Amino acid sequence: MPSEADAPLIKISCVSKYFDSFQALKSVSLDIGLGERVVVCGPSGSGKSTLIRCINRLEKYEDGEITVDGVVLSDARESLDKIRSSVGMVFQQFNLFPHLSVLDNLTLGPRRVYGLSDQQAKHRAMTYLERVRIPDQADKLPRQLSGGQQQRVAIARSLCMEPRILLFDEPTSALDPEMITEVLDVMTELAETGMTMVVVTHEMGFARRVADRMVFMDQGEIVEIATPEKFFTAPDSKRSQDFLKKILNH
């Protein structure tokens, strides 16, 4: 029996999810430990985004169970409070609040959810803006920033809630190539601080550098779980090999 401390932070057991008659997840199981960095990859429509959206209940699932930090996800208040306070998410389209300044984007959650004073929230926001290296943009509106800067603000906004787990849903897919690096650098630094991260991405260089484990999905199933070294050099399944051939050959 594993002790309490060894129990996985996120435990996904046999989760199935349907969009009408289309089955997006087919009995998916995955455990993620504290401090682990997991990169999820796979062809589009493979269910990778859906999977991580299930972890913070942006998607509901018909079958199976997910526990986060020992609490089973459900619509119960206790469960919602738990995921909300421990799981953060960074989106492909940033989803910053366009009518609020960068600073207000960051302080809104801490003020309303944790009841921080304006001063405390601002202090916390500036700490994380420095972490993502854009403290000088605090008073601007999101649309006055470049895509890369916006995504870094979005990461800082998530960090302001001080989550235990950070989910990334294709965080660089909407960025111009020259801005991808600055976002990946911030994510790499974050990984070095010991944050538990689940990242859906096509950035294989980043995956190779940062991931503890690679999860390869196809057609709603987890096909292969391996260390990056193994996954990129000698993947077991035919489907992984085909996928890697396609994305690494351009």
Interacting residues toward another protein by CB under 8 A: 56-58, 81, 84-85, 87-89, 91, 93, 95-100, 108-109, 112-113, 141, 154, 157-158, 160-161
* CB-nearer residue toward another protein: 7 or 126: 126
* CB-nearer residue toward another protein: 67 or 105: 105
Burial annotation 6-16 (CB, 10 A radius, 16+ → b, else e): eebbbbbeebe
* CB-nearer residue toward another protein: 19 or 97: 97
* CB-nearer residue toward another protein: 170 or 224: 170
What is the number of other CB atoms lying within 10 angstroms of the CB of residue 47? 23
CA dist 68 and 12 (Å) reads 9
* CB-nearer residue toward another protein: 29 or 93: 93
- Min dist CB 70 to another protein, Å, is 19
CA dist 238 and 127 (Å) reads 46
Helix ranges restricted to H, 87-168: 102-114, 118-131, 147-160
* CB-nearer residue toward another protein: 29 or 117: 117
Measured in whole angstroms, how far is the alpha carbon of residue 219 from the centre of its chain? 20
- Min dist CB 108 to another protein, Å, is 6
| 22: enclosing H helix or E strand | strand 22-32
- Min dist CB 9 to another protein, Å, is 17
- Min dist CB 228 to another protein, Å, is 27
CA dist 79 and 50 (Å) reads 20
| 225: enclosing H helix or E strand | strand 221-226
- Would you say 137 and 153 are in contact if contact means Cβ atoms under 8 Å apart? yes
Contacts (Cβ under 8 Å, ≥6 apart) of 35: 194, 195, 196
- Min dist CB 133 to another protein, Å, is 21
- Min dist CB 66 to another protein, Å, is 16
- Min dist CB 3 to another protein, Å, is 30
* CB-nearer residue toward another protein: 162 or 185: 162
Task: Name the E strands within 84-220.
Answer: 87-90, 165-169, 196-200, 213-218
